[in-house]
Amino acid sequence: MITIAIDRSQDADFIYHQIYQKIKEEIFSRNLMPGKKLPSKRELAGALNVSINSVNAAYQQLLAEGYLYSEERKGFFVEQIETFHAARHTGPLRLDEELREEDDNKDGWISFSHMSVDTAHFPFKTWFRCEQKAAASHTAELGEMTHPQGAYKVRQTIARFIALARGVKCHPEQIVISAGTQPLIHTIQDLLPESAVYAMEEPGYSRIYQQLKNERKRVVTIGLDHKGMRIDDIHRLNPDVLFVTPSHQFPTGIIMPVSRRIQLLNWVSDGENRYIVEDDYDSEFKYGSDTIPALQSLDRSEKVIYIGTFSKSLLPGLRVSYMVLPQKLLKRYRKRHHSSIQSSSVLTQFALQELIESGEYQRHIKKMNQIYEEKRTRLIGSLEKTFAGRVKIKGASAGLHFVADFDTKRSEEEVLAGAREHLVEVYGMNRFILKKKNNADGPVSLVLGFAKIGIDEIDEGVSKLYEAVCG
């Protein structure tokens, strides 16, 4: 007879699960050998003083998982199961120290993060109404696998919107929706020759750089001048693909003038397998002038792959990005990815469509542009007043961040350590240097985001930043 001590206390596990767990342990420890007949349900229930239903539930679970087999009118028997080769864990699984994570809760911190947005002014009620309307209007689509490129109606809406807002020329068929920019970059790599050489701005977007390196792509970096990526270095290094952020270079904030844009477009049109990937990550926000049309709007040879996202204009957590493929690459995409599964939530796609079609998205952008401009102006003024000639602001005419160069005797590492001590979240320029970190003497450059910080926190945040930089 199997001996099982049933725990009948209030906090104990279900009785059937205690029986199931004990029999399983006996099988693994070889106290119950393969082929061994178990007591009948009635017999074991009587021995343990439990209900037959509890024993039956335990037996049925063991049967379903393959620990037991049954023979009609004979009962339940132990299945033939091999023993584990590796030693079994006798206690809780321990996590290696190098894998441990710290709690990322930053309550009480003041954030100058360039990665965040202002959630305090996000129209959650409006968004939830759009989700409800989308769910009611698209029940059929929600119950099916959508097109690999995303719902066609949503792509129609995006195509119309980016034509008006960014001057992007495309058909809905050319749009591919995805849950983030990195999956789109992976797809682009699959559409281009295996031997393609990729060029990235230096400094630039380190996540994409690392992604390319991890996937064993050949990557070169090209420095910047006051117009953006240096054209002479492009001709000298002769890459196949350029990754550029012309509307607000990341992270320096340089806005590429039309003269350099035309130079890039002339370069890309002169090579059969050359392409430009335009990452238009925060073009919705411009201060002091109208938004600048996308580089793709000037493209006459269909060589620009345009990438957009709703992470900055709405919420990063919604995970909706998209790209516009030239028709030549679209044909390759259709051949290679016709069986791919769309990664972005279909409900979110239709809610986004409703937000745009209703005009609420445009109203939100207009409102946030005013809020962000007020924060930006307040932050620049506070920096200039507090640092009194020891700070230089660059790239502040667009987007949700700018660069501040600080005259200090401290290193970037020391400044960032000081900021952490004062519970200030901020990032240094070395984070975005792709190949060679800058350890030379000179100004410390910080990338200051102003989206997340509350306007009433700005002066306090700058004061704490002063202590980190100069204190």
117-138: per-residue pLDDT in tens? 999 999 999 999 999 999 999 9
Range of the domain at 324: 146-358
- Residues 256, 169: one domain? yes
User: For position 292, what pLDDT does the model report?
Assistant: 85
pLDDT at 205 over 70: yes
- Residues 373, 323: one domain? no
- Residues 167, 71: one domain? no
420-454 tens-digit pLDDT: 999 999 999 999 999 876 556 679 999 999 999 99
Note every long-range contact of 383-389, with CB atoms under 8 Å and residues 24 or more positions apart, other chains counting: 383/448, 383/462, 386/462, 386/463, 386/466, 387/466, 387/469, 387/470
Q: Which of 311, 333, 358 is the last residue of a domain?
A: 358
- Of the pLDDT bands very low, low, confident and very high (cuts 50, 70, 90), residue 56 is very high
- The answer as to whether 83 is a domain residue is no
- Residues 381, 458: one domain? yes
310: domain CATH number is 3.40.640.10
- Residues 353, 383: one domain? no
User: For position 246, what pLDDT does the model report?
Assistant: 96
- Residues 211, 339: one domain? yes
Distance separating alpha carbons of residues 234 and 399, to the nearest angstrom = 26
**pTM of the model as a whole:** 0.88
- Asked whether 415 and 428 are in contact (CB, 8 A), the reply is yes
- Residues 456, 406: one domain? yes
- Residues 184, 304: one domain? yes
- Asked whether 364 and 378 are in contact (CB, 8 A), the reply is no
54: domain CATH number is 1.10.10.10
Give whichever of 83-92, 95-104, 361-370 has the largest mean pLDDT: 361-370
User: For position 90, what pLDDT does the model report?
Assistant: 65
For helices 327-336 and 181-191, the axis angle rounded to 10 degrees is 90
User: For position 104, what pLDDT does the model report?
Assistant: 74
- The answer as to whether 437 is a domain residue is yes
Number of domains in the chain: 3
- The answer as to whether 74 is a domain residue is yes
- Residues 344, 385: one domain? no
User: For position 438, what pLDDT does the model report?
Assistant: 58
- The answer as to whether 4 is a domain residue is no
User: For position 302, what pLDDT does the model report?
Assistant: 96
- The answer as to whether 72 is a domain residue is yes
User: To which H or E segment does residue 304 belong?
Assistant: strand 304-309
Bond from prior residue into 239 cis (ω within 30 degrees of 0): no
- Residues 325, 235: one domain? yes
